[in-house]
Amino acid sequence: MRAFKSVGGVPPFIKRAEGAYVWDVDGNQFIDFVGSWGPMILGHAHPEVINEVKKSANDGTSFGAPTKKEVILAEMIIDRVPGCDMLRLVNSGTEAAMSAVRLARGISGKDKIIKFAGCYHGHCDSFLIEAGSGALTLGVPNSPGVTRGTAQDTLLAEFNDIQTVQDLFKKYANQIAAVILEPVNGNTGCIPPEDQFLKNIRDLCSRHDALLIFDEVMTGFRIAKGGAAEYYSVIPDLFAFGKVIGGGFPIGAYGGRKELMEQVAPSGRVYQAGTLSGNPMAVTAGIETLKRLTHVEYENLENLGAYFEAQLQDLIDTYDYPVWQNRAGSMFSLFFHPGPVMNTQDVSKCDFDAFKHYFHTLLDHGIYTAPSQYEAGFISLSHTEEILNKAITQVHVALKDVFIPA
């Protein structure tokens, strides 16, 4: 959410970004932990990525016809993600998740889906039921405008609570087309899955003939080269992607097992299309971004994440601050809650006034984080240890300001 409704004040209007930094129109510099909500995994304005995008723009900005580059990007994604054999490019994460669900319904002939409270899959009607991210921040997790008919086909489970999924399968036997979730729930803050949670969902889906959809818009190419499917060794039937695969340009993609994806038109009957899908500039930025994300770079990201977590934990332990942190690779959250924080209900019990105070103190000291407890932070490859140390110094200032007033 760009709005500052939950923390108050006026959001900085950003003029320019480079590496780990953004600058606002008033000339203030911030270390950026938002990273455009995830895409900027290399850091902002990577010179070679920008250069290739400029060249691509010179060749024309949209053709509405096949290009070699969209095939290259699709192949790069398929190569990296276990269980993804075939892919369709779209323009946003919203479209990707929406299309994956339509496909699941189209194939199965069943209407209902299970989603998890606090998970966000974009703003398609079916997903605006206890949605996370900005919807939670603004207090509209169930949006007006979603018809009752649509809402009743979305069943709600609790993240990290397999019993709630089991209960729904029991109650709605043979009516559930798919289970969709963020394998790491990054839209209610960063909440990793507990041990066996994803595997148990996988088993339940297989047993009840429902498709499992991983929404990897945030986790894809972020927490590992092959995303959450690789990281947690659980293979869904369908995937939704976005963010990193466009390197900061509008893009999305959905994919999965070949026999499922072949049901998408024109080879199959489930319709989906898009004028600007596979846009050459977005695809170029995606290729140039993924190209640079080698296994070594994922190790670097993991190390940077672990370094930041350890420094922060040191502060928390030394001063006995009543806060809790979660991390999955380069995604993280600091909750104003003594912990543990395992689902959106836990997040709702955070001290939001303390968060607001913390957020504004950080902003005043040149650190830009998401203006909501319900959002994750992102570390990029441009966040060197030196930059992270600078940030930790300011985090210390902000935590002291909240908990040890002068």
Residues with catalytic roles: 120, 215, 243
Residue closer to ligand PMP, measured from CB, 103 or 312: 103
Q: Which of 128, 150, 147, 124 is nearest to 139 (CA)?
A: 128
Residue 201 in tokens: 């969902």
Binding-site string for ligand PMP from residue 214 to residue 253, where x marks contact by CB under 6 A and - marks none: -x-xx-----------------------x---------x-
Residue 96 in tokens: 């990707």
90 binds ligand PMP (CB under 6 A): no
Q: Which residues pair with 328 in a beta bridge?
A: 331
Q: What angle do CA 124, 128, 132 make, to 5 degrees?
A: 115
* Least CB distance to ligand PMP at residue 217 (A): 3
Classify 60 in phi/psi space as left (phi over 0), alpha (psi -120 to 50) or beta. Answer: left
Q: Which of 217, 233, 194, 219 is nearest to 97 (CA)?
A: 217
What distance, in Å, lies between the first and last C-alpha atoms of the chain? 32
Q: What is the DSSP letter of 19?
A: B
Q: How far apart are CA 293 and CA 276, in angstroms?
A: 26
* Least CB distance to ligand PMP at residue 251 (A): 8
Q: Say if CB 277 and CB 65 are below 8 A apart.
A: no
The region of 75-83, 87-95, 151-159, 262-270 touching ligand PMP under the rule CB under 6 A is 87-95
120 binds ligand PMP (CB under 6 A): yes
Residue closer to ligand PMP, measured from CB, 105 or 123: 123
333 binds ligand PMP (CB under 6 A): no
- Name the residue with the smallest CB distance to ligand PMP: 93
121 binds ligand PMP (CB under 6 A): yes
Torsion of CA 276, 280, 283, 285, to 10 degrees: -120
Residue closer to ligand PMP, measured from CB, 36 or 166: 36
The region of 153-161, 180-188, 290-298, 364-372 touching ligand PMP under the rule CB under 6 A is 180-188
Q: What are phi and psi of 156, to 5 degrees?
A: -110, 130
Q: How far apart are CA 30 and CA 341, in angstroms?
A: 28
Cis, peptide link before residue 266, omega less than 30° from 0: yes
375 binds ligand PMP (CB under 6 A): no
Residue closer to ligand PMP, measured from CB, 31 or 228: 228
Binding-site string for ligand PMP from residue 124 to residue 163, where x marks contact by CB under 6 A and - marks none: ---------x------------------------------
97 binds ligand PMP (CB under 6 A): yes
Residue 271 in tokens: 């319709």
332 binds ligand PMP (CB under 6 A): no
Among 6, 154, 187, 311, binds ligand PMP (CB under 6 A): 187
Tell me the CB-side half-sphere exposure of residue 150, using CA atoms within 13 A: 15
Among 6, 67, 92, 382, binds ligand PMP (CB under 6 A): 92
Residue 315 in tokens: 């502060």
Among 6, 94, 279, 382, binds ligand PMP (CB under 6 A): 94
Q: How far apart are CA 117 and CA 139, in angstroms?
A: 13
Q: What is the DSSP letter of 251?
A: -
The region of 119-127, 228-236, 311-319, 352-360 touching ligand PMP under the rule CB under 6 A is 119-127
Cα-to-chain-centroid distance, residue 137: 16
Within 190-219, the residues that bind ligand PMP by CB under 6 A are 215, 217-218
The region of 16-24, 90-98, 276-284, 341-349 touching ligand PMP under the rule CB under 6 A is 90-98
182 binds ligand PMP (CB under 6 A): yes
Q: Which of 272, 273, 278, 275 is nearest to 102 (CA)?
A: 272
Among 30, 37, 197, 231, binds ligand PMP (CB under 6 A): 37
Which residues would be at the binding site for ligand PMP (CB under 6 A)?
A: 37, 92-94, 97, 120-122, 133, 182, 186-187, 215, 217-218, 242, 252
